[in-house]
Amino acid sequence: MATVKIPEYKISEEKVILDSKTTALIIVDMQNDFAHPEGRLFVPEARKTIPAIKKLLEKARKAGVLVIYTQDWHRKEDIEFDIWGEHAVGGTWGAEVIEELKPVENEITIHKLRYDAFFGTPLDHLLRIYKINTLVITGTVANICVLHTAGTAALLGYKIVVPIDCISALTDFDKYTTYRQVYFLYKGILTKSENIEFR
């Protein structure tokens, strides 16, 4: 068996102070099919991130930060099912956001077709309308929908912040790969949710 050395990345221990008017909190795919034990593609680690995401969400709401949820949202005929099997079919229980993190009035929900929340959705348009330049990205799965969304965000010119206690993956390898890509490839900030402050 090959041994793989974890590439370099840095997790900031300093406070990350963000402007509440130009920052959005993105909660990626915290849906029943991924974050509930009875979900079709359950990610066990996702359950462990719920308390941290919830605290960050409360902080964001209190500061008036724009909150955006993404939901994987598929039709029955979706070709993605050839990869993962049927999941997150639009309008079903599996596609709903988990009870612990339900959106409230005036929060935005984006139904996404693929891993990347910008692909085929109005996400970038909405962020420009609200004059957002910084995204705090949380959710699951770290190396799939979180990373693809973070990558496009960075390439569109947004500053990205990823609290590592608010993302989950199926394996440690996948999680560390995400850290490396966010830090090295997209020049994002890796931190912990307790270090994030909205002002």
Tell which residue, 38, 35, 25, 193, has the closest CA to residue 110.
25
Q: Which of 29, 33, 78, 116 is catalytic?
A: 29
Q: For every one of its 199 residues, what pLDDT tens digit does the chain have, with 9 covering 90 and above? A: 788 888 899 999 999 999 999 999 999 999 999 999 999 999 999 999 999 999 999 999 999 999 999 999 999 999 999 999 999 999 999 999 999 999 999 999 999 999 999 999 999 999 999 999 999 999 999 999 999 999 999 999 999 999 999 999 999 999 999 999 999 999 999 999 999 999 9
Domains and CATH numbers, the chain: 16-198 (3.40.50.850)
pTM reported for the whole predicted model: 0.96
145 is catalytic: yes
Q: Which of 78, 112, 159, 166 is catalytic?
A: 112
21 is catalytic: no
Contact 192, 164 (CB under 8 A): yes
Residue 177: strand, helix, or coil: helix
**Whole-angstrom distance, CA of residue 178 vs CA of residue 182:** 6
Q: Which of 78, 116, 145, 175 is catalytic?
A: 145
Q: Looking at residue 4, what is its pLDDT?
A: 80
124 is catalytic: no
Q: Looking at residue 47, what is its pLDDT?
A: 97
Q: Looking at residue 104, what is its pLDDT?
A: 96
Q: Looking at residue 101, what is its pLDDT?
A: 98
- Return the biggest CA–CA distance within the chain: 51
Preceding omega of 141 cis (within 30 degrees of 0) = yes
Please give the distance of CA 190 from its chain centroid, rounded to a whole number. Answer: 13
